[in-house]
Amino acid sequence: MATISDVAALAGVSTATVSRALNGKPTVAPDLVARVLAAAAELGYRPNGLARSLRRQVTAVVALVISDVENPFFTAIARGVEDTAQAAGYSVMLCNADEDAVKERQYVDAAVQERVAGVIISPTGTPATAAALLDSGTPVVAVDRPLAGARCDTVLVDSRLAATQATEHLIAQGYQRIGCVTGPAGVPTADDRLAGYHDGIAAAGRRVSQRLVRRCEYKAAGAERAGESLLGEREPPDAILVGNSVMAVGVLKALARGALRPGRDVGIVSFDDAPWATLVDPPLTVVAQPAYEIGTLAADMLLARIGTRGDEPKTATLNARLLVRGSSRRH
């Protein structure tokens, strides 16, 4: 592949002039610019981004590490990050940690080593990964979940409040035994949603039964088993709060297997307004998180942080909206 020296030789100028011409510096004579451009085109010259970044000590790439590419919530965040970052001239390198702390660590290390301009991450992982990221000095914004034991810019949604509202809604609908299927212990969103569920139950003067709570990976398969187990209880729930839309797929399958109808037999509210939520029958009541806005806001915060490293970390907490549809109405 042609280098800047090849272009310089062909154009009969120095590499410095080629560099200046190609970077649109105003201090190059027009005819030289033309010669350089012609030579570059003839050779099919593509500047080496590695060399450029090494020299300039900056890259125009931000990494976005998400915990599950197959979750529409995270892909919507990705769209938001992308739109904002691209408008500012950055490429977005999307990395799928797949809810796996090891993969996450690999991606974080790779991003740091490639000296990306910044990292937006929905952390799956351990304090060690968080520390590695922070210590590197790379600007970081955490989304969806706080970065374990570390202070950095953060964009969250008030999951706990939203879960409380969802639970209160189910109670208001007359459901008596409300269950909850949420993510693994230690994952902040999963814990928050469970806490909010507790809040809602308690606010109604009822007691939480551990028999009505299931925790598993934020995946459909686990949620399906959890749903089946819940429905197999001696006194099964008549409503379920589900931790995200991927899990909702599993829980709805479990209901279908038991020939139970959402709403009428078992009230269902799930986090995340997936594209298919209105297609199921009855339509799924959801807690809609502003995923795209999370992405744009996180990207804005990251760009600001890349600009000015100094100031205090900020946390933005957005609100979710309960969209009541048929799956949580008894009639």
Partner DNA sequence: TTGAAAGCGCTAACAG
Partner DNA sequence: CTGTTAGCGCTTTCAA
Is the CA virtual torsion 49, 54, 58, 59 positive or negative?
positive
Applying CB under 7 A, the site for DNA has a residue count of: 30
* Tally of CB atoms within 10 A around 110: 14
Residue 228 CB, nearest approach to a copy of itself (Å): 15
Q: For the segment 216-275, give every residue that binds DNA (CB under 7 A).
A: none
**4 touches DNA (CB under 7 A):** yes
Helix (H) or strand (E) holding 120: strand 118-121
Non-local (6+) Cβ contacts of 72 within 8 A are 245, 272, 274, 275, 291
Q: Which entry of a copy of itself, DNA, none binds 174, CB below 5 to 8 A by partner kind? A: none
Residue 127 CB, nearest approach to DNA (Å): 25
Exactly one of 28, 161, 248, 301 binds DNA (CB under 7 A); which one?
A: 28
**29 touches DNA (CB under 7 A):** yes
> Which residue type sits at 270?
S
**14 touches DNA (CB under 7 A):** yes
Q: How many angstroms separate the CA atoms of 26 and 254, rounded? A: 67
Residue 136 CB, nearest approach to DNA (Å): 12
Please, which residue, 13 or 62, has the CB nearer to DNA? 13
Give the chain's radius of gyration (CA, Å). 25
> Which residue type sits at 78?
A
Exactly one of 34, 38, 41, 51 binds DNA (CB under 7 A); which one?
A: 51
Q: How many angstroms separate the CA atoms of 106 and 88, rounded? A: 27
Please, which residue, 55 or 331, has the CB nearer to DNA? 55
**87 touches DNA (CB under 7 A):** no
**89 touches DNA (CB under 7 A):** no
Q: Which entry of a copy of itself, DNA, none binds 15, CB below 5 to 8 A by partner kind? A: DNA
Residue 21 CB, nearest approach to DNA (Å): 8
Non-local (6+) Cβ contacts of 31 within 8 A are none
Exactly one of 9, 37, 43, 47 binds DNA (CB under 7 A); which one?
A: 47
Residue 307 CB, nearest approach to DNA (Å): 17
> Which residue type sits at 250?
G
Question: Of the candidates 257, 302, 249, which has an alpha carbon nearest to the alpha carbon of residue 87?
Answer: 302
Spell out, one character per residue from 53 to 72, where the chain touches DNA: x when CB under 7 A holds, - when not. Answer: -xxxx---------------
Residue numbers at the binding site for a copy of itself (CB under 8 A): 1, 44, 46-54, 59-61, 69-70, 72, 75-76, 78-79, 82, 86, 91-96, 98, 103, 106-107, 109-110, 112-115, 135-137, 220, 246, 249, 252-253, 256, 274-276, 278-281
Q: Which entry of DNA, a copy of itself, none binds 280, CB below 5 to 8 A by partner kind? A: a copy of itself
* Residue whose pair of structure tokens reads 């706080």 in the numeric block: 146
Q: How many angstroms separate the CA atoms of 122 and 190, rounded? A: 13
Q: Which entry of a copy of itself, DNA, none binds 3, CB below 5 to 8 A by partner kind? A: DNA
Phi-psi region of 111 (alpha: psi -120 to 50; beta: other; left: phi over 0): alpha
262 preceded by a cis bond (ω within 30 of 0): no
**19 touches DNA (CB under 7 A):** yes
Q: How many angstroms separate the CA atoms of 219 and 45, rounded? A: 46
Is the CA virtual torsion 9, 12, 17, 18 positive or negative?
negative
What is the binding site for DNA (CB under 7 A)? 1, 3-5, 12-20, 22-23, 26-29, 31-32, 45, 47-48, 51-52, 54-57
